[in-house]
Structure 1
Amino acid sequence: MNAAPSQVVLAMQGVSVTRGAKRILGPIDFRIQSGERWVILGPNGAGKSTLLNILATRIFPTSGTVSILDKQMGKVDLSELRTRIGICASLLAEDIPDDEFVRDVVLTAAYAVIGRWNEVYDLWDESRAVALLTTFGVREFADRRYYTLSDGEKKRVQIARALMADPELLLLDEPTAGLDLGGREDLLRRFSEFSLDPLAPSSIIVTHHIEEIPAGTTHALIIKDGVIAISGPIAEVITSEHMSAVFGISIDVTTDGSRFFARSR
């Protein structure tokens, strides 16, 4: 894990995305320092997925500049930059072969490939893959086929894969979507414990629900109609006033320790 204290991990300035005559995102200014753990929230269609795709270097903005890990998009080999970014997203997960062994699902991320072929992995790679599976509670499934796992178990394997290459930035797109209550809480607990490591990478989680924000998250960004409604330290952003304004209904936000909960009034 390589993120250094006070390093600028991400800087977006004047970023917009236009499709045809319609602007679907921006303009956005956004900045992340190493050690920060962000959550991005907003209504359906707000622009969260478009923003995440830019951060994952999967699409370019129509205008503005994006610098990730001191590299400006458009002026760097993206294949090299992508090895420094860990991603857990449903579109990528769909490409994982169902008959792949769980251990290999994680291990192949060391070569940034999906599906094991003829790559040669050393003992360090093998040990790291097992350690990550252990961290997220799925070590005992290492020799099982991926398709035999439950949705919750697959999500844990996907996060372990995202961390295999020792990224400096971790992007998680709705990591607890579709999980039952037990699976959600177990995954959030494990991710929170992992994040306590001072060398853990900076992270950005996209979610629809404040109940799915893991403890230890430091900052929040709320996006609405393609622009940032508010961003900053999480306790200042996730409030009844802001949630009500963004989602258009009266919402009461409560906290229990480092977790947030919402209900309509």
Structure 2
Amino acid sequence: MSRVLRAEDVHVVRDGRPLLQEVSLTVRAGEHWALLGANGAGKSTLLSLLGALVHPTRGTVEVLGRRLGRVDLRELRAYVGHVDPRHPLTAPLRVRDVVLTGLTNSVAPLPRWRPTDGQLRRADGLIETLGLAGHRDARWPTLSQGQRGRTLIARALMPEPRLLLLDEPATGLDLPGWERLLDALDTLRRTYPALATVLVTHHLEELPAGTTHAMLLREGRVLAQGPAADVLTGDQVGKCFDLPLAVDRHDDRWSVRIRRRRT
């Protein structure tokens, strides 16, 4: 499989404080990675590096074969789908119009820009894939948090990226919204088999069934990484969160609980 991402011996320092230290990661086409760790572990910082939003202080990062520091970041970002539930849209755009802004990498439609018929068909197809066909003309302020999240995933997929980055996409979702999101991510995995994804979360329960690999971060360093079944064990996740944990997997979904001492 072709390599989509490579970070090697990455360090990030801000205001004299190390946020990431000695982090290395390789993501290949068709792999679906989870980044887990406590608050402040460095997950979002690493995702920003992988999304070409920031440069490393030291080390190398290659995104889609282009090395940060040797390429225009704005150009590179057009090839990476980045889903942030804190999307700053406030205008009452319709779902279809929000999805189409993925082609212009803008929050609102650009003046005098008009999508082609093919682009409109692609937007409608993604809206249907994400389970939003009945909400194509719904306006942004009327959407639930889960509907907004799925709209933003469709938006991120409009430029046909090879890489999709998801920063805590289940933030603020209730149980039905969370389950619909996970189902949508599983549909994407089947529909676009070459697409690579990296998902940041605090919770194992939020991982899609198709998660193939995982990285555990603790205080800016890699605690463990590799195939999800090897990394997401009670011992290793417990070390990551500094708790005695038991991890279970059933029907390709994970759950975690505190391991009680026997008396």
Verify: 1:36 aligned to 2:24, yes or no.
Answer: no
Q: Pick the aligned partner of 2:62 from 57, 67, 73.
A: 67
Which residue is 1:208 aligned to? Answer: 202
* TM-score of the aligned structures, taking structure 2 as reference length: 0.95
Given that 1:41 and 1:223 are in contact with CA atoms closer than 8 Å, whether structure 2 keeps it comes out as: yes
Which residue is 1:56 aligned to? Answer: 51
Q: Pick the aligned partner of 1:191 from 164, 185, 209.
A: 185
Given that 2:85 and 2:149 are in contact with CA atoms closer than 8 Å, whether structure 1 keeps it comes out as: no
Distance 2:102 2:180 in 1: 24
CA shift for structure 1 position 35: 1.1
Q: Pick the aligned partner of 1:111 from 104, 107, 129.
A: 104
Distance 2:195 2:71 in 1: 21
CA shift for structure 1 position 186: 1.3
Is the partner of 1:15 in helix, strand or coil?
Answer: strand
Match runs of 1:71-82 below 5 Å: 71-82=66-77
Is the partner of 2:12 in helix, strand or coil?
Answer: strand
Given that 2:52 and 2:63 are in contact with CA atoms closer than 8 Å, whether structure 1 keeps it comes out as: no
CA shift for structure 1 position 176: 1.0
Is the partner of 1:196 in helix, strand or coil?
Answer: helix
Which residue is 2:243 aligned to? Answer: 249
Is the partner of 2:103 in helix, strand or coil?
Answer: helix
Q: Which amino acid aligns with 2:54?
A: I
Is the partner of 1:24 in helix, strand or coil?
Answer: strand
Given that 1:194 and 1:200 are in contact with CA atoms closer than 8 Å, whether structure 2 keeps it comes out as: no
Verify: 1:102 aligned to 2:99, yes or no.
Answer: no
Distance 1:173 1:82 in 2: 15
CA shift for structure 1 position 67: 0.5
Is the partner of 2:101 in helix, strand or coil?
Answer: helix
Q: Pick the aligned partner of 1:261 from 230, 249, 255.
A: 255
Distance 1:239 1:196 in 2: 26
Q: Which amino acid aligns with 2:132?
A: V
Q: Pick the aligned partner of 1:227 from 221, 228, 233.
A: 221
Q: Deviations over 1:133-172 (max 9, x none)?
A: 1111112212121111111111110111011110011000
Which residue is 2:9 aligned to? Answer: 14
Distance 1:199 1:216 in 2: 11
Given that 2:4 and 2:29 are in contact with CA atoms closer than 8 Å, whether structure 1 keeps it comes out as: yes
Given that 2:12 and 2:21 are in contact with CA atoms closer than 8 Å, whether structure 1 keeps it comes out as: yes
Which residue is 1:152 aligned to? Answer: 146
Distance 1:198 1:100 in 2: 27
Q: Deviations over 1:176-214 (max 9, x none)?
A: 111111110111012112202353410000000000000
Which residue is 1:83 aligned to? Answer: 78
Distance 2:187 2:117 in 1: 26
Is the partner of 2:186 in helix, strand or coil?
Answer: helix
Task: Report how many aligned residue pairs link the two structures.
Answer: 258
CA shift for structure 1 position 34: 1.0
* TM-score of the aligned structures, taking structure 1 as reference length: 0.94
Is the partner of 2:148 in helix, strand or coil?
Answer: helix
Deviates more, 1:130-139 or 1:191-200: 191-200
Gaps of 5+ in 1: 1-5
Q: Deviations over 1:64-83 (max 9, x none)?
A: 11111000001012222111
Q: Which amino acid aligns with 2:184?
A: R
Q: Deviations over 1:25-53 (max 9, x none)?
A: 11111111111110000011101111111
Gaps of 5+ in 2: none
Given that 2:29 and 2:194 are in contact with CA atoms closer than 8 Å, whether structure 1 keeps it comes out as: no
Given that 1:196 and 1:216 are in contact with CA atoms closer than 8 Å, whether structure 2 keeps it comes out as: no
Distance 1:147 1:73 in 2: 36
State the percentage of identical aligned residues.
39
